[in-house]
Amino acid sequence: MRLLLLGLLLVGSCCLSRAGLILENGAPIMWAHATSQPTDLTITEGVLTPDPWHYLHRMSFYRILIAATDPYMTSMGPGDNQSPIWGLPLQLGWMLTSGRLADPTGLTVCGTQGGDTADMCISTNSWWGCVNYFSSALPFLSAAKQGILGDGVSVQMQSPAGVEGYCTTYDSCKTAHPDVINNWDSFFQGLKDATTSPLPENEKKDAILGLYWRAQMSSTAAHSTCQDKLSSYSGVEKSFAHSWLNAAEYVAAAHFQSSLELASQFMSPLPGRILKEDDSPPNIPDLSAEENHSLYIFSWMQSVDNFLGGTLASMWRRAMCSVTTRENGREMLKQLLFNPEYATSSFLSIVTSMSTSCGS
């Protein structure tokens, strides 16, 4: 099978030794070795049977989805690579290079940099790999069902022996995670409907982004399935994982357009390795100032939200009540993440004001 051969030949440690990389030759990590054609995946008796625990297969899900949906994405703006789906392969690549797809228990070599197929293995013990499953395998199953990948395409995911808790077909996933599948179905159907919609382009774009983020956040919400896997990480990494999930609430509510360019900018300051017990952000010596700052901001947002009983996230969602406020919200997030001089107190006061003006 072509992808497996590529995995054997092309996963040398040169590609994985630079922890925390977001881009490789202007694209997500190993993008050139993923396929954009469903028929290049494993096929068994006319059914696509990809292995979602192989990095190149998950990356191929995204490359296939982007290629198949780009014709519906004209409202995203001029030029290439404007699809919001780009954020997902970039995120997967960051998980790979930062070591977050490897086995945190150390009981297997899955995901380690051994220069062989272990490099491309996504550990079933990885919390990050588990959470990503619902943002890769499930949208791919939905896209196939909605005809996005072509007529009559049927998919059944491979499942490692002895591993439970992961649905592998459209029907089984709809039974186990109905909200996730229904929201991805709505997103793909919304893309089709947008081609004949009379809405102005900016409103059409906002509507598509709204459907996308609703689907993506429902995928993320399925992380409760992965909760037990967090026990294998340090307390600092656990805290980062929770704050990472919390930060997604703000990005989603603002309908962030996670194009290749914008998403890579927002992901570039993410920590380039798994955090250890003695790490103390924002003062981790071997991480960059940008990585330390992003960890501080993520932690600050999580702490304030916890202190306020979840009302900061609620106020933010309420403030993102129109196309205009969502545009302003995206700019605020940019300032918060990239401008150390941007006062967190300013963020709080602006969010409070915006949420009040939007009403209940």
Note the pTM of the prediction, 2 decimals: 0.89
Q: Would the CA dihedral through 162, 64, 129, 13 be positive or negative?
A: positive
User: Cα–Cα distance between 92 and 100 in angstroms, integer?
Assistant: 9
When the pLDDT of each residue in the chain is averaged and rounded to a whole number, the result is: 88
User: Cα–Cα distance between 95 and 19 in angstroms, integer?
Assistant: 10
pLDDT of the residue at 118: 53
Q: Which residues of 242-276 are buried (b: 16+ CB within 10 A; e: fewer)?
A: bbbbbbbbbbbbbbbbbbbebbbebbbbbbbbbbe
pLDDT at 15 over 60: no
Condensed to tens digits (0 to 9), the pLDDT of residues 227-281 reads 999 999 999 999 999 999 988 999 999 999 999 999 999 899 999 999 999 999 9
The 8-class DSSP code of residue 98 comes to: T
Cis peptide before 38 (omega within 30 of 0): no
Cβ distance 69 to 83 under 8 Å?
A: yes
Residues with Cβ within 8 Å of residue 64, at least 6 apart in sequence: 35, 36, 37, 38, 140, 149
CB hemisphere CA count around 360 (13 angstroms): 0
Q: Domain-by-domain residue ranges, the chain?
A: 1-232, 235-360
Cβ distance 157 to 137 under 8 Å?
A: yes
Condensed to tens digits (0 to 9), the pLDDT of residues 336-354 reads 777 777 766 677 777 777 7
What crossing angle do the helices spanning 235-253 and 201-221 adopt, rounded to 10°?
A: 150
pLDDT of the residue at 19: 36
Task: Count other Cβ atoms within 10 Å, centred on residue 230.
Answer: 17
Closest by Cα among 105, 177, 111, 103 to 139: 177
Condensed to tens digits (0 to 9), the pLDDT of residues 271-280 reads 999 999 999 9
Work out the average pLDDT over 77-104: 95
Cβ distance 211 to 186 under 8 Å?
A: yes
pLDDT of the residue at 343: 62
Q: Higher model confidence: residue 14 or residue 350?
A: 350
pLDDT at 7 over 50: no
